[in-house]
Chains A and B, each alone.
Chain A
Amino acid sequence: MIVVLTVICACSALVLAYANKVTKAPREYQLLKYVEAPSIKAVLTSYDNDPIKDRVVLKMGKDKKGRPLTRNIFLAKKDGKIIGLAYEAAGMGHEGLIHVMVGVNTAGKITGIRITTQSETPGLGSKVVEPSFTKQFKGMALSDSLNLSAKGGKIDAVSGATVSSKGVVAAVRKALELFPKIKKEIG
Chain B
Amino acid sequence: MPTLTQEFTKGLWKEIPPFRLVLGICATLAVTTSAKNGIGMGVATTFVLVFSNLLISMLRKLIPRNVRIAAFIVIIASFVVLAELYMQAYAYPLYKALGIFVPLIVVNCIILGRAEAFASKNPVLPSLADGLGIGIGFTISLFVVGAIREIIGHGTFFSVPVMWSSFKPFGVMLKPPGAFLCLGLILALMNFISSRQKR
Question: Is B158 at the interface (CB under 8 A from chain A)?
Answer: no
Cβ of A51 to closest chain B Cβ, rounded Å: 17
Question: Is B64 at the interface (CB under 8 A from chain A)?
Answer: yes
Question: Is A152 at the interface (CB under 8 A from chain B)?
Answer: no
Check if B67 sits within 8 Å of A4, measured CB to CB.
yes
Interface residue ranges, B against A (CB under 8 Å): 59, 62-64, 66-67, 70-71, 74-75, 77-78, 81-82, 85-86, 88-90, 92-93, 96
Cβ of A69 to closest chain B Cβ, rounded Å: 24
Q: Give the residues in chain A near B67, CB-CB below 8 Å.
A: 1, 4-5
- 21 A-B residue pairs with Cβ-Cβ distance under 8 Å, sorted by A, are A5-B67, A5-B70, A5-B71, A8-B59, A8-B63, A8-B71, A8-B75, A12-B74, A15-B78, A16-B81, A16-B82, A16-B85, A19-B85, A23-B85, A26-B90, A27-B88, A27-B89, A30-B88, A30-B89, A30-B90, A33-B92
Question: How far is it, in angstroms, between the C-alpha of A83 and the C-alpha of B181 when the chains are bound?
Answer: 57
Check if B86 sits within 8 Å of A19, measured CB to CB.
yes
Check if A4 sits within 8 Å of B63, measured CB to CB.
yes
Cβ of A38 to closest chain B Cβ, rounded Å: 14
Query: Which of A1, A16, A31 lies in contact with B64, CB distance below 8 A?
Result: A1
Check if A1 sits within 8 Å of B96, measured CB to CB.
no
Q: Give the residues in chain B near A5, CB-CB below 8 Å.
A: 67, 70-71, 74
| CB nearest neighbor in B for A35 | B92
Starting from the known contacts A23-B85, A27-B88, A30-B92, 9 additional A-B residue pairs (CB-CB under 8 Å) come to A4-B62, A5-B70, A8-B74, A12-B74, A12-B77, A15-B78, A15-B82, A23-B86, A23-B88
Chain A facing B: main interface SS: helix
Question: How far is it, in angstroms, between the C-alpha of A9 and the C-alpha of B74 when the chains are bound?
Answer: 7
Check if B71 sits within 8 Å of A34, measured CB to CB.
no
Q: Give the residues in chain A near B86, CB-CB below 8 Å.
A: 19, 23
Question: How far is it, in angstroms, between the C-alpha of A23 and the C-alpha of B70 when the chains are bound?
Answer: 27
**A contact residues, total (Cβ < 8 Å):** 17
Known contacts being A23-B88, A26-B90, is A1 close to B66, with CB within 8 Å?
A: yes
Question: How far is it, in angstroms, between the C-alpha of A14 and the C-alpha of B81 when the chains are bound?
Answer: 13
Cβ of A50 to closest chain B Cβ, rounded Å: 15
Question: How far is it, in angstroms, between the C-alpha of A8 and the C-alpha of B92 when the chains are bound?
Answer: 30
Check if A19 sits within 8 Å of B82, measured CB to CB.
yes
Check if B93 sits within 8 Å of A34, measured CB to CB.
yes
Check if B92 sits within 8 Å of A31, measured CB to CB.
yes
